[in-house]
Structure 1
Amino acid sequence: MAMASMMKVVLGSIAFGFFWVLAVFPAVPFLPIGRTAGALLGAMLMVVFRVISPYEANEAIDLDILGLLFGTMVVSVYLERADMFKYLGKLLTWKSRGGKDLLFRVCLVSAISSALFTNDTCCILLTEFILKIARQNNLPPQPFLLALASSSNIGSAATPIGNPQNLVIAVQSKISFEKFLFGILPSMLLGVLVNGAILLCYFWKLLSIERDQEVEAEAGDLVVENEVINSHQSPHASSVNSRDFMNANSLPNSVAKDPPNENWKRFLWKICVYLVTIGMLVALFLGFNMSCTAVTAALALVVLDFKDARPCLEKVSYTLLVFFCGMFIAVHGFNKTGIPSTLWEAVERYSRIDSTGGIALLSVVILLLSNVASNVPTVLLLGSRVAASAASISATEEARAWLILAWVSTVAGNLSLLGSAANLIVCEQARRAQFYSYNLSFWSHLKFGVPSTIIVNAIGLPFIRSY
């Protein structure tokens, strides 16, 4: 694509600059309006500056991605109401054999649950539970918090519904859920194991401390705050509002015991929620339209609940949907300036995926851009270009290029504390925990994040295949 006129290039760069600054630094002193408003501002400037027309701005909004995102958020709300994440928390404590065993459990449980229920949701609902387990066992919280955040990011790479950038890739590439899963699953599983091994090497001595108390089998009164993060919060982080997970045995009998009919109704309702969720995953696996499947599952849960759906629908992060609309327009306008195409043409010949050196260079470009511009804009800027370059080799290589983009842009979130919303959620949830707060600092995360990101990316790349 040729460069646009100098006026469009300058004005488009200014508009995109507003979007980028406010997306990466939502509380900048000169304009502390947040990410969502920043995305809308960037989109509006693209139209006002006539970089794109109102019609082009409307066409830039991808309704399939918005539908898929909305549907998965609603399903997550109902799963949270059905105590799915409480049961996942209990799985961590079942017959635990010490700190090292517990660390690997956190890695595996957070990775698998993130692949199915999104990484941000899992971090919101598991952080305080993990802090409580660490306190009960006289173990340092830092390795377990790092395990939760990093493994959630790695695990979310395996499916189209694991994180927002994968949603974009799945819709744009038209890669089926099955091919996406099997293309990245080996890298994901190996990456989680390697990440856990790195954590063990870092914290071996601390995890060897004898426990003062046994791990409790019950997940007791875990209270998760509704407010997750302040200035650094991603809109996606609020897709599921937390509620109290209370141990019914700790309440007075008059409160804890529900009528038998109510207990049966709730039990059957939970079963229906899990069956609908399983049905959604099976439909995605069979190749049904992902957006329609997710929205259908969400509506099925609304009907099965048989009550006013407003309280549940209010928990959906509509700010995230608005953010995506603004981001689609801002990125499309920036693409129209010709700058991304010109920059890509300069490195395209050296970053083709038919050579080891090309894959390495492409991975470095994705990793750096994901940490500078965030992973979703990176996918929107590079996706079609990387795919077109690989398509000149073969259709199989085109699909593999999309999967490499999904893998690297997701694992890149582990590089620093600001690399992904999941990291920030764990940090803020831990800092605000009522019973046992802990401050996960930027530098303590960076010392682990840099080697982990580089090693996990390098080890996982050779195992990414397209089918």
Structure 2
Amino acid sequence: MGFKTLLGRAWLGLREDTFLQILLLALVGLSLLTRTPLNAYSGLVDWPTIAALTGLLALTKGVESSGALYRVGHWLVGYMTSERAAALCLVTAAAVLSTVLTNDVALFVIVPLTLGICRITPLPTTRLVVFEALAVNAGSALTPIGNPQNLFLWQLSGQSFGQFVWHMLPLVAILMLLLLAVTAAAFSGRALQTSDPESEHPLDRRLLGVSLLLYPVFLVLTDMHYAPWALLAVLLCLCLVRWRVLAQIDWGLLLVFVLMFIDLRLLVGLDLVQHALNGWGLAQPLHLFWAGIASSQIVSNVPAAIALAEFSKDWKVLAYAVNIGGFGLMVGSLANLIALRMAPDKRAWLSFHVWSIPFLVVGAGIGWVLLFAI
């Protein structure tokens, strides 16, 4: 496949991306409202985050393109007796990984593996990806390092790692039990059958070795706040090994994140939004709880946590609110956007909301009971 063909596919994907087009229209509207100069947009973007996301996308694509995930999928299918067993296994793995690798990284591991398994045996791919998105939202809420909002609130709270986990444990335990029960009901018990011989997918050992070697190096350098330099090294190495991998990266997802940073920060800066926040009575814990959930549906849970922390230091209520707020609309959590972008079905967002909105309602009820009724 030539470079022009790959570039053409990337451009076609951008043209067909409805959410990207909505963000562009929102940018135009917010620009007119705020009269923000174009040269100020760059300062609204968290470039280290974009660099980290780009590196993870590149490395994940390297592992996926090597054929390794297909081999692992074949091995796992041998131990999965049914569609329900496969779903429970993948959902549980996504939740567990998110507690230590963050929700985004967990998706970069689980979703490509899921897509590989679905190429081997017929499974409801979109539904699996949706449930994995729900799983990382629930699982990552447990630990201070599970997602960005928890990391921020952990630093704000001054609590130990164990104290933070202990506070979040009741909510996460109930959400996970509920999620596993719904997963068992949503997937059938039919037996799995392999539909694709393993020999048809050769393993690119060189690409796999380079990608796996770069993974820990990239994560360590990113943790040390050298994400841009780490990204440069990753792109250079992959370009030398298999340049086509870079052309297959979801560049549209990166553009979506850039536009979200700009749009959300322009939105939060509006006088109308600031006035609304001031009028919500956030000093009252119950008001803070509902505000955290509601604002997450508008600006995503990480910006919501940062914005609301300016009005209240009640980290316990805020942690419950913004983690529950990751459910509901797809903008509630950036992990939702990552999962839906990686799903093969362009209408996956419809299926996502069918399951995620009820989880938001139930999760809000559970959080209210745990915080205010017990």
The answer to whether the superposition gives a TM-score over 0.5 is yes
Aligned to 2:269: 332
The 1:375–1:205 alpha-carbon spacing in structure 2 relative to 1, beyond 3 Å, is closer
Write the distance in 2 (CA, Å) between the matches of 1:59 and 1:257.
43
The equivalent residue for 1:125 is 112
1:106 equivalent in structure 2: 90
Is 1:69 the equivalent of 2:2? no
Percent identity of equivalent pairs: 17
Partner of 1:34: 22
* AA aligned opposite 1:324: F
**What is the aligned counterpart of 2:227 among 274, 279, 294?**
294
Q: Which residue of 2 aligns with 1:429?
A: 343
CA positional deviation for 1:162: 6.2
Structure number with larger C-alpha Rg: 1
> Contact between 2:299 and 2:331, CA under 8 Å: does it hold in 1?
no
TM-score, scaled relative to structure 2: 0.66
Question: Residue 362 of structure 2 aligns with which residue?
Answer: 451
Q: Which residue of 314, 334, 342 corresponds with 2:278?
A: 342
Per-residue displacement from partner, 1:90-144 (whole Å, max 9, x unpaired)?
Answer: 68646335566544422232224444461664675356456568846xxx77974
Which of 325, 334, 358 is the aligned partner of 1:412?
325
Q: Does the CA-based 8 Å contact 1:367-1:409 persist in structure 2?
A: yes
> Is the CA contact (8 Å cut-off) linking 1:415 and 1:449 kept in structure 2?
yes
Q: Distance in 2 between matches of 1:34 and 1:86?
A: 35
Letter in 2 for 1:413: G
| Pairing 1:272–2:272 present | no
Instruction: Report the Cα distance in structure 2 between the residues aligned to 1:450 and 1:130, rounded to whole angstroms.
Output: 32
Unaligned runs of 5+ in 1: 1-25, 49-53, 222-246, 352-359, 391-400, 463-467
SS of aligned partner of 1:96: coil
Q: Deviations over 1:21-78 (max 9, x none)?
A: xxxxx979xxx95214413541453136xxxxx69x9499356x32233223323321
Secondary structure of the 2:288 match is helix
Aligned length: 344
Q: What is residue 166 of structure 1 aligned with on the other side? A: 149
- String of CA shifts for 1:188-207, please: whole Å, max 9, x gaps: 77655533422444465676
Change (3 A) 1:419 1:328: closer
Q: In structure 1, what is the Cα distance between the partners aligned to 2:301 and 2:86?
A: 30
SS of structure 1 residue aligned to 2:149: helix
State the Cα RMSD in Å.
5.0
* Partner amino acid, structure 2, of 1:39: L
Structure 1 residues 104 and 441 mapped into 2: Cα distance closer, same or farther (>3 Å)? closer
Query: Are the aligned partners of 1:60 and 1:332 in contact in 2 as well (CA < 8 Å)?
Result: no
Q: Indicate how the Cα distance of structure 1 residues 299 and 257 shifts in structure 2: closer, same or farther if over 3 A, else same.
A: closer
Q: CA deviation at 1:329?
A: 3.5
| 1:142–1:73 CA distance, 2 compared to 1 (3 A) | closer
Q: How far does residue 417 in structure 1 lie from its aligned partner after superposition? A: 6.1
Structure 2 stretches of 5 or more lacking a match?
1-16
Give yes or no for contact 1:145–1:426 (8 Å, CA) kept in 2. yes
Q: Is the 8 A contact 1:375 1:409 kept in 2?
A: yes
Given that 1:188 and 1:460 are in contact with CA atoms closer than 8 Å, whether structure 2 keeps it comes out as no
CA contact (8 A) 1:40 1:326 kept: no
Q: CA deviation at 1:157?
A: 4.1
1:85 and 1:122 in contact (8 A); partners too: no
